[in-house]
Amino acid sequence: MGFLLLPPVLVFVLSYFKINRTFMAVVSSTIAFGVIYVFTHPFMNEYFFVDKLGGFVLAISSIVAVAIFVSMISLPERIKLDEKSIRRFYRFFAVFWIGIIISILSNNMGLYWVGLEFATLSTVYMIKVKVSKEANIEAWRYLIVGAIAISLILFGIILIYASSKNILGDYAMNFYALMHNTQKINDYLFELGFLFVIVGMFIKMGFFPMNLWLADIERASVYQVGALFSGILESAIILGFFRFASIEKNINYSHLIGIGYTHILITLFIVSFLIYRAKDFVRLFSLSGIEHMGLIALFWISGGYFAALLHFASHAFMKPALFISSGILEQNKKYLFKGALKNINKFTALIISAFFLGVISLPPSPMFFSEIYGFKAMVDVARDSNYFILMLVGIFGVLILLSIIFYKFVHIYQDMLYNGDEKEKKVYTSEILAVLILFISTALLLLPQSFEFIKGIVK
The residue from 14, 63, 81, 111 that contacts other proteins (CB under 8 A) is: 111
Query: Of 107, 88, 91, 105, whose CA–CA distance to 4 is shortest?
Result: 105
Q: What type of residue is 377?
A: A
- Alpha helices (runs of H) in 169-280, residue ranges in sequence order: 175-179, 187-205, 213-220, 223-228, 234-251, 253-276
- Which member of 72, 107, 117, 130 binds other proteins (CB under 8 A)? 117
* Pairwise CA distance, residues 359 & 352, whole Å: 11
Q: Prior bond to 7 cis, omega within 30?
A: no
**Contact status: 5 vs other proteins (CB under 8 A):** no
Of 321, 280, 298, which Cα lies nearest the Cα of 435? 321
**Given 3-state DSSP classes, what are the helix, strand and coil percentages for the chain, each rounded to the nearest 5?**
80, 0, 20
Q: Report the residue from 9, 10, 79, 162 that binds other proteins according to the rule CB under 8 A.
A: 162
Least Cα distance to 339 among 273, 281, 391 occurs for: 281
Binding window for other proteins (CB under 8 A); candidates: 26-34, 164-172, 212-220, 302-310? 164-172
Measured from the CB of residue 15, what is the shortest distance to other proteins in angstroms?
A: 15
Residue 135: CB minimum distance to other proteins, A:
8
Bridge-partner residues for 48, per DSSP? 106
Q: What does the alpha-carbon distance between residue 353 and residue 318 come to, in Å, rounded to a whole number? A: 11
Task: Tell me how long the chain is.
Answer: 459
Interface segment toward other proteins; rule CB under 8 A; list 33-41, 187-195, 299-307, 396-404: 187-195
> If binding is defined by CB under 8 A, does position 182 make contact with other proteins?
no
Interaction pattern, residues 189-228, with other proteins; x per rule: CB under 8 A: x--x------------------------------------
Stretch near other proteins under the rule CB under 8 A, chosen from 122-130, 176-184, 348-356, 357-365: 122-130
Quote the CA–CA distance of 203 and 197 in Å, as a whole number.
Answer: 10
**Position among 53, 79, 143, 392 found at the interface with other proteins (CB under 8 A):** 143
Choice from 25, 64, 154, 401 touching other proteins (CB under 8 A): 154
**3-state DSSP call for residue 174?**
strand
For residue 252, the minimal CB distance to other proteins (Å) is: 13
**In angstroms, how far is the first alpha carbon of the chain from the final one?**
26
Contact residue for other proteins among 77, 82, 170, 380 (CB under 8 A): 170
Q: What does the binding site for other proteins look like in residue numbers (CB under 8 A)?
A: 47, 108, 110-111, 113-114, 117-118, 121-122, 124-125, 128, 136, 139-140, 143-144, 147-148, 151, 154-155, 158-159, 161-163, 165-166, 170, 172-173, 186, 188-189, 192
